[in-house]
Structure 1
Amino acid sequence: MLTSLDGQTAIVTGASKGIGKGIARVFARHGARVLIVARHLDAAEASAAEIRAAGGEATAFAADVTDLSGMEEAAAAAVERYDSLDILCANAGIFPQVSLEEMTTDDWDHVIGTNLKGTFVSVKACLPALKQSGGGRVVLTSSITGPVTGFPGWAHYAASKAGQLGFLRTACIEIAKYGITMNAVMPGNIYTEGLEDLGEDYLKTMANSIPLKRLGDVEDIGYAALFFASKEAGYITGQTIIVDGGQILPESLEALET
């Protein structure tokens, strides 16, 4: 069993829904005080309220991860409300699907800005407070799409997620002198609100391509993030873990028919 996060404060960005919400639930369940950060305060408040109703400790803050001053205010709010900031889960991300031929430069900039610049901004804004923790943790939500696999319509998303890992491998060296670790979780197909729009056929096809024959749950990612945030992972930095039910392993669908 991992050491409890009692007394520690975590910021989770993009935590009003999807994977971020799952991470926040898991962290709160294991003792962390969680600051839910999202662009819309009402959605962040609703997520925080669910955690409190389940017995956890959470409050909400509205900020855009592409805005440095806004994220600096979020970091300051975590310290003001809970006396520390120990963990940053840089999770906020978007994945609008558009083909390369139809993709505009604005489409590209929006995804890269949110997913990749947003990661940098979140880390930079939280770094001063994390340094004060004496052993902070940064956990990025990347993806298998980009670093390992590809999918039509997500060229911009794939580039942003691969870029996160490039950022990780240098940034973790720079912050190691403060006792801070930085690692990344790489989800496969996780069932979230965002996948509902892709249709039942897509969901069935994806489940059939996964050796465990199901899409992941948001808390599957939450528990991987929890490990990276734990005391037990204190000597791990600059690393990634794929959480995909074995999705990337088969050479073809035929490999799953044996």
Structure 2
Amino acid sequence: MSDLTHPAQSLLDDLSGFRVEVDAARERADIVLDRAPLNVITMPQRDQLRLVFEALDADPRVRVIVLRSTGEHFSSGGDIKGFMEATPEKVSALAWNVAAPFRCSKPVIAANRGYCFGVGFEISLACDFRIVTDTTLYALPEQKLGQIPGSGGSARLQKMVGVGRTKDIVMRSRRIPGPQAYDWGIAVDCVADADLEKATDALVEELRAFSPLAQRTAKKLLNDTEDAPLSIAIELEGHCYSRLRSSDDFREGVEAFHGKRKPAFKGS
């Protein structure tokens, strides 16, 4: 019998500032930031969020993950005092924890309303889809503290909107309203605040209709080839396409297409 222990074993016993809801019938899991009114994200919470994403990634009941919040604000950012108390080693791992939605093989949706600042913005940028409302404000305000974003925010944003717009946001601590974020391609949809839940539900159901295997393959391919030369990206795309040709889901998709019926994908 092994006597090995791991620091993570007790981290999930008492979730700090958020809760997890799994709806097996809808193949959906919600990670809900729940520290009203501003949903400040603490240092221990970052470790817990990473572990929860990893646990949900391995949960066969879950097809789609939603990251959302209670109240009128998604998150005003991180716990400033916690940064001052953390060791350099702890701080250097911040981006790894916040990248958990990116590493997750399943589709992850961020539903953002109100303030979405600092790490709240950074973890949303690590998700696959962002839905904003007319109340949403995105910002990386670290310059006001004599700092820079430390959890991947400026790097991910630069990939999405270019270096000029990223400098404008980061170096001026500018707040970007939801409609502007949608225009810039940061968000996939911008809706009235009262419609955020409805829009999120609709996207979940849309994603559930596709093959889980094809979705995982597409996400990993796009993540892995983001920095690759075009020739390498096309080569890897071809390999992934070839592997999916022999899948049960592809066969089912072709048969459903010719049979003019909805496919029943199983993820194999």
The answer, yes or no, to whether TM exceeds 0.5 is: no
Q: TM-score, normalised by structure 1?
A: 0.32
Q: TM-score, normalised by structure 2?
A: 0.31
The structure showing larger relative contact order (alpha-carbon pairs under 8 Å, at least 6 residues apart) is: 1
Q: Which has the larger radius of gyration?
A: 2
